[in-house]
Structure 1
C-alpha cells in the first residue's frame, strides 16, 4: 500500500509500485516538490534498500565523511540520506523529483536477485519510462548515483530509453569483465564478499529479521519473513557464477555496455584512488561512448565523499539544470575535462579539452637489471632476474627526479617473462618515494594507503585486441587461454589504470613487478563496517581465491628477461609544465 506524507517541504510517496513486463512489481519512494507542477526526475535503481539510512547501514563511512566535510550534513535534516544516492532535501527544493527504486529481490521489491543481468537492466529501463509519464513529471529523466547506481547507468543507456535525457555516472565501472570481476584475467574476490556484506543483509524477505526505517518504521526488507532456504532460492549464486566464467564470454558481455548505443548526454566522474573497481570504466566511457555531449571529471578522496560535498553536488546540479531543465547556465561552455590534479599534499583544479591529455609527452622508462633501476636508456646488456611467482617480486626505482614532474593519464608496461609453470600472474604497482625513500600513498576510494597506480595480467591472457589496443592502453581479448611453455619467454603488454600525481623534485618513481597483491604494510588496523578484510593497501579488491590461482600454475618461479632493445619498459604520460 502506498503511503503519502508531507514533511520537510516535500511531498513523499512511500512504496509506490512500478509494474514490470513479467508482472512483478518493484517498489519506489518518490520525493517531490510540494507545489503543483511538472518536474524533471532524478532516478536511481539498485540493491542497497531505500529504507536503510546511510548512518545505520554504513556508520563508519558516514562518520568519516561528515567529520571531514561538514558541508555534507549542513542544510539538511539528513533523515533521508541513503548510501550512494542523492539527498532529496538538497534537490527537491531546486525543482527536482527524486525517485529511489529497490531493485528486484532487494529492499521492499520482491523477486530474484541477479545483479547487472539483462533482466535487471530491462527493469531499470521500465522504471525510467514509468517516471517519464507520471503526472508530476516533465518527461525528462536523469540518472545520478555512485558505484552500483552508476554502473547500471552505462548498461541501461545501451537500451536507449526515450525518456532518459541525461546521466551522471559518479565512480561507475562499466566492463563487467575488465573493470570488475577479472583484472587482467585474474579473478577479483570483491564481488563475492560484497554480496555477503551489502546485499544479503538487505534481501527482500528478511522481514522481521531485517532493520526498520528510521523515518517510517516500515520493515526495510519487506513485510514477508522468509526462511534461509527461501532466501537462497531467490538469489543468484553470485560468486560461483563469476568463477564459472573465467573468460569474457556472453555472461560478461550481457552485463557490459554497448558503447555504440550510449548516446545520451553524460557526466562521467572518476576517482584517481579507485584502483580495483571504478575509474577505468569512467575513462573508457568518456572516450568510447557514442554520445556527442559528454564530460569527464576526476577527483580524489573516498569514493562516496565528493558525490555529497558542495563541490560535487553543485557540479551535478549545473549539469542537470542544463540538460533536464534547459537552463542557460553556461554548461554548454564547460570544458570537456575537469581534473583535480593530485599533488602529494593537495589537489589543484584544471580544465582540459580531451583524454588522454593533448599535451601528453609519452615517455618510456626502461627496467634495468643491473641495479634494478628505471632509466631513460635501455639496458647495456642482456640479463635475467627471477622471483617467486607468488611473492613480493622486484622493484625498479628511478634516480631522484631533477624537476617537478606531472604524470597524468593511462600507463602501460611491456614485459618479457617466462615461468617454470604454464602460467603466471603479474601484479604491477606504480609507486612514488620521497627523497629519503618513504613511499607516498593516498587516501583512496576505499583504502587509506592506496598506491599511485596498479595493473594486472594473467600471462595466459596476453592476447591483444588489435583494433582496440593502443600503446598507452593495451586491450586484451580475454577470449582464450594461451598457456606458457615452461622456461620459454613471452612478451606481455600490461595496462595500468589512469592516475595523476605531480611528483616533487628530488622524489623517485618506481615500478614493482609482483606475484601477488600490493601490501602497504602487514597490519594497519584500518577497517570499514561494510567490508570483511583489513585494509592493507588494495582495499577489498583482492585476487587470492585458491580456486582461481591453482598452486600448480601460480606457485612456481617467474623470470624477467632484459635485452638491449628494452624488452621491459614503462610508458608514462608526462605533462609538460604550463
Structure 2
C-alpha cells in the first residue's frame, strides 16, 4: 500500500438541539477529496482513561484513509450535560445528530460508519435501529442484541453478583471525574461540581429493574415479547437495514450476539457478516486467548465495501467465519492460545436450530443438596484482562454437582451454535435456580468448560412475570446454553453438570436449597452437524498482552464456613500533559450455612495535568440476605488532597424472586 501523507487531529465541539456541547476528537486524513468518517462514541473518557484507543484511530486514518471521530457521550469525559444512565434515549438522539453533523462537514463525503467495542458496539446497534440517512454500515464488537438476558446485569433472571464488583462500581467513579481543563476551559471546576451534584449511580436503577420489561427492551434489537409461534426468538431484526459486521469472542460475555444476530439480519434482507474468535473482552489483535487477527484491516475491508463501494469481495465471502475450538490441553486462567482452526460457513440454518441432536440423560431421579459456592472454577462468564480470567479445570465444581458422562465418540463431535437442556426439576424452596454446564472430559479427569446456561426457576415461563415454585413439585424448565463453536475429539467424554448455583457469576438463591432432577424426563439438545470450510488464514496480530499485575484469589474460612472471591488490579499511564491512575479492589462472599452474600468494591481514579491533581473514589457494599437486597454507595471527589464532594446512597428492596 502506498504511503499516505500524515493526517491531523483536532478537538471540536458538536452542539445538540438543547445547547449541550459534546466533546469530540477528529482524526482527519491528508486527502485531496472528502472521505468517509467512522464514529466511535463512548462514556470512557477519550483523553485519558481510554486514550490508548487513539493508536487504532490513527491507523484507520493513515493506513486506510478514513476520517475518524471519537465522541465523549453526554455527561462523560469533557462533554457537557449529565450522564443519567447507560443507553438512554437522549444518547441515541445525540448520536443521530452527531452523524448528521459529521456528514455535512467539508472533509466528509457524506458516508458514516459506526463501530466499537462493548458500549460503542451497543450504541452502534441502537443508532442503526434509528436509521439515520448518512449511516451506511456498522461493526459492533463484543456487543449484544438483548440487554436483559445478555448484558452484565442479569443472567437467566438472576443478578450477576460478580459484575457489581467491576463495571457498576467503576462507572460511578468514572462519571464523577471532571472535564479535561485544556478542553473545557477555565470554568472546568464549576462544571465538575455541577456534575458531582447531579450525577446519580446507574447501579440503583439496574437493581430496581430486576425483571424484563420496557426498560431493557429499549436498545435491544432482539424482542422476545413479539409473537414467536415457531420459537425462533429472532424477530425485530428488520429494524436494522445497514450492512452489519458482528465481531464476537468465545471467551467474551456477549458471545450469543453472533450466529443468531447475523442469521436474523440476513433473514430480514440486511447484509451481515460474523467474525468470531476465541477472544476475551479485549482487542482481537492481542486478547487472551489467541490466536489473533488484524481486526483493523478487517474493519477497513467491511467499510471499504459499504462506504466506498469498493468491489473487494467481502460480501461474496462466506458470511460466517469463526474459530472452531477443539479438545486440547488443560484449561488455564491465562491461556495465551487455544487449540482449533479457523472455519467458515455459507449459511447457518437458524430456522431449524431448535430441531437438533437430542437425547434423554436417564438415570431416574437424583437429589442434590446445593453447595452455594459452586462455580468458582468458571467464576465469571465474561473473561477479559486479568483478573477477569478464563475458566479453569471444572472437575472441582463437577464434584459438587450432579453429573452425567456420555461415552467417547469414534468421530469428532462438533457443536456450532446454542444448545438446550430441558429439565424436569423440583426444589424444596419457592425460589431456586439451576446451572447447567457442558464439559469436555479427558482421560485424566481434566474437565474443560464448553458452554454453560443458567436459569432462575421462577423465570421458567419468561423473564417478565416470575412465578414462585411450589416446594417439592416438579416443573419443566428449559435452559439455553450459550453459543459456542467447539469440537470434541475422539476419545473424550461429554459431561453434563447440573447444580443450583453459578456463584459468584450470579447471585445464589435467598435460602439453602435442595434440587431433584428427573433424568428420565430431562433431555440435552445440541446443534445439528454443520459442514464447514477452511477460512482464510489471518495475520496473527500482536502477541497476547499480559497487562499489569493483578490479584485473583478464592479463599475458604473453614471455621465460619464463608467462601470469598477477591480481585485487585490497577495501573498508571501517561496521558497528554500528565498521568492517569486507576485502582480497583473487590470481593464477594457467601456464607455456606445461611447463604447470606456480600459484594464489596472500590474504584479510584486519579488524573494529573501539570500541577493539578483530581481523584474520585467510589465504594459499593451490597448485601443479600434471605429477605432483602441492600446496597450502600459512597462517592468522594478530591481536588488535590481536599475533599470537594461526598455523597452517599442507600437502597433496600425485598428479595422476592432472586
**Correspondence list, 1:230-379, <5 A:** 230-257=194-221, 259-274=237-252, 277-289=253-265, 290-306=268-284, 310-343=293-326, 344=328, 345-356=338-349, 362-369=356-363
- Does structure 2 conserve the Cα–Cα contact (< 8 Å) formed by 1:410 and 1:573? yes
Matched, 1:550 2:510: yes
Query: 1:37-436, aligned counterparts within 5 Å?
Result: 37-52=33-48, 54=50, 81-82=52-53, 86-113=56-83, 114-180=85-151, 181-189=153-161, 192-196=164-168, 198-203=170-175, 205-206=177-178, 218=182, 224-225=188-189, 230-257=194-221, 259-274=237-252, 277-289=253-265, 290-306=268-284, 310-343=293-326, 344=328, 345-356=338-349, 362-369=356-363, 382-388=364-370, 390=372, 392-436=400-444
CA offset at residue 176 of structure 1?
1.0
Deviates more, 1:246-255 or 1:41-50: 246-255
Which of the numbers 561, 573, 577 marks the counterpart of 2:518?
A: 561
Quote the residue 1:24 is aligned against.
20
Call closer, same or farther: CA 1:227–1:25 in 2, change over 3 Å: closer
**Quick one: distance in 2 between partners of 1:222 and 1:286?**
48
Residues 442-468 of structure 1: CA deviation (Å, up to 9, x unaligned): xxxxxxxxx3211111111111xxxxx
Q: Which secondary structure state, in structure 1, belongs to the residue aligned with residue 52 of structure 2?
A: coil
Deviates more, 1:185-194 or 1:16-25: 185-194
State the distance in 2 between where 1:366 and 1:47 align: 48
CA 1:273/1:221 → structure 2, altered by over 3 Å: closer, same or farther? farther
CA distance in 2, matches of 1:221, 1:173: 37
If the length of structure 1 is used for normalisation, what is the TM-score?
Answer: 0.75
Residue 313 of structure 1 and its aligned partner are, at CA, apart by: 2.0
Distance 2:476 2:25 in 1: 54
Partner SS for 2:212? coil
Q: Residues 207-257 of structure 1, C-alpha deviation per residue, up to 9 Å, x if partnerless? A: 5xxxx7xxxx94799962369985454334322211111211111112323
SS in 2 for 1:280: coil
State the structure with bigger RCO (CA 8 A, min sep 6), 1 or 2. 1
Deviation, 1:198, is 4.3
CA distance in 2, matches of 1:222, 1:253: 41
Quote the Cα distance in structure 1 between the aligned partners of 2:316 and 2:240. 22
Check whether the contact 2:60–2:300 (CA below 8 A) recurs between aligned residues.
Answer: no
Q: State the alpha-carbon separation in 1 of the partners of residues 469 and 201 from structure 2.
A: 32
The separation in 2 between residues aligned to 1:254 and 1:34, in whole angstroms, is: 40
The alpha-carbon distance between structure 1 residues 226 and 285, as it changes in their structure 2 partners (threshold 3 A), is: farther
Q: CA deviation at 1:296?
A: 1.6
Shift of 1:107: 0.9
Per mean C-alpha deviation after superposition, the further-off stretch among 217-226 and 144-153 is 217-226
* TM superposition shift of 1:310: 4.8
Contact map agreement 1:107 1:204 (CA 8 A) in 2: no
Query: What CA distance in whole angstroms lies between the structure 1 residues aligned with 2:439 and 2:207?
Result: 31
* SS at structure 1 position matched to 2:68: strand
CA contact (8 A) 1:18 1:26 kept: yes
Aligned residues of 1:169 and 1:269 also touching (Cα < 8 A): yes
8 Å contact from structure 2 (residues 5, 30) kept in 1:
no
Tell whether the 8 Å contact from 1:205 to 1:222 is kept in structure 2 after alignment: no
**Which aligned pairs between 1:1-12 and structure 2 lie closer than 5 A?**
9-12=6-9
Match of 1:34 among 30, 35, 58: 30
CA contact (8 A) 1:365 1:572 kept: no
After superposition, the Cα gap between the structure-2 partners of 1:433 and 1:221, relative to the gap in structure 1 and judged at 3 Å, is farther
Q: Which residue of 2 aligns with 1:457?
A: 455
Structure with the bigger percentage of strand: 2
Tell me the distance in 2 between the aligned counterparts of 1:222 and 1:509: 64
* 2:475 paired residue number: 490
The unaligned stretches of length 5 or more in structure 2 are 222-235, 287-291, 329-337, 375-399, 533-658
Contact 2:104 2:110 in 1 (8 A): yes
Contact conserved, 2:454 with 2:502, CA < 8 A, in 1?
Answer: no
How many angstroms does 1:104 deviate by? 1.1
The alpha carbon displacement at 1:190 in A equals 5.6
**Whole-angstrom CA distance in 1 between matches of 2:531 and 2:112:** 42
Partner Cα distance (2:247, 2:149) in 1: 19
SS at match of 1:452: strand
Equivalenced residues, count:
469
Within a 5 Å distance, the mapping from 1:470-509 to structure 2 comes to 477-509=462-494
Contact 2:168 2:202 in 1 (8 A): no
- Offset of residue 98 of structure 1: 0.6
SS in structure 2 of the partner of residue 302 of structure 1 = coil
User: Aligned residue for 1:375?
Assistant: none
